[in-house]
Amino acid sequence: MYHFSDLSLTDNDAFNFETDYLNTDVNGDNITDVTDLVLIDNNAINFIRMQRP
């Protein structure tokens, strides 16, 4: 389940322009950025635990 602490970790990585395969890169584009923050925030608000393609 996504939690607001995940949002904090992702925010730190986005601030530092972290790239590569990271847990905080939730959309899989190899960069942690605002898109990942939005996805985590939306999932936390909607209590989404897991989403599979």
pLDDT tens, N- to C-terminus, the chain (53 residues): 556 677 788 889 999 989 998 988 989 999 999 999 998 888 888 887 776 76
For residue 33, the model assigns a pLDDT of 93
Domain segments of the chain as ranges: 4-45
C-alpha distance across the termini of the chain, in Å: 17
Q: How far apart are CA 33 and CA 12, in angstroms?
A: 10
